[in-house]
A and B are shown apart, each in its own frame.
Chain A
Amino acid sequence: DIVMTQTPLSSPVTLGQPASISCRSSQSLVHSDGNTYLSWLQQRPGQPPRLLIYKISNRFSGVPDRFSGTGAGTDFTLKISRVEAEDVGVYYCMQATQSYTFGQGTKLEIK
């Protein structure tokens, strides 16, 4: 099974400042079809998860452009250019290259 490891597990951020979350997979997420199936989800308090980014860097419909994804192979990053109050929640990376597994989650909170 592919294990997804996120760092940090908690990230206190000042409003208006950038935030960054890392995700590392235990093996390459490059699929045999050449695509890399790494996505990012946001879960606000008391809400279901919401898709933010798919295939490393593609923003899902309606996602603000302050969210961006980068990476390749086994190392990936979600960046928020300027954190807003509505961004508070837990962020998960997820791989869909070999079945589906999630990272442990990173809690984003405001300082």
Chain B
Amino acid sequence: EVQLVESGGGFVQPGGSLRLSCAASGFTFSTYWMSWVRQAPGKGLEWVANIKQDGSEKYYVDSVKGRFTISRDNAKHSLYLQVNSLRAEDTAVYYCAKTTSTEDAFDIWGQGTMVTVSS
């Protein structure tokens, strides 16, 4: 079964850090671009970052540049998001998403991990 399972979310104070993880199974992880997408409570979806198959290219939405870092470990079939200097507006469910082979859509999504930033 194709599956993505996120972990690492939690409650953190403004300025704090977390490392989100996404474990992939059921497909050849190393051959797909992967993304993180977030959803603030009661709000819509926002793409956050993505990473090429070999990790050589990474892209971010402007609001997280310099604060978030996406990475992957193909040997462990895992995707990561290091989130630093967290702000209240980063509060959201963070989803891991697999990109299709033609990079035109997100075809597999995890259940998400909640990040709450509050003092």
A residues contacting B by CB (< 8 A) are 35, 37, 39, 41, 48-51, 54-55, 60, 92, 94, 96, 99-105
Interface size, chain B (Cβ < 8 Å): 21
B interface majority secondary structure: strand
A-B contact count (CB 8 A): 56
For the complex, what is the distance from the CA of A92 to the CA of B23, rounded to whole Å? Answer: 25
Residues of B within 8 A of A (CB): 35, 37, 44-47, 50, 59, 61, 95, 100, 103-112
Among B45, B47, B106, B109, the most chain A Cβ lie within 10 Å of the Cβ of B45
The answer to whether B44 touches A48 (Cβ under 8 A) is: no
Q: A100-B35, A102-B46 are in contact. Are A49 and B59 (CB under 8 A)?
A: no
Contact B104 A48 (CB under 8 A): no
CB distance from A13 to the nearest CB of B (A): 20
Complex CA–CA separation, A46 to B61 (angstroms) = 25
In the complex, the answer to whether A49 meets B45 with C-beta atoms within 8 Å is yes
For the complex, give the distance between the alpha carbons of A94 and B99 in Å.
Answer: 13
Given A48-B95, A49-B95: A60 in contact with B47 (beta carbons within 8 A): no
A39 to B103, CA, bound (A): 12
Bound form: Cα–Cα A50–B46 in Å: 15
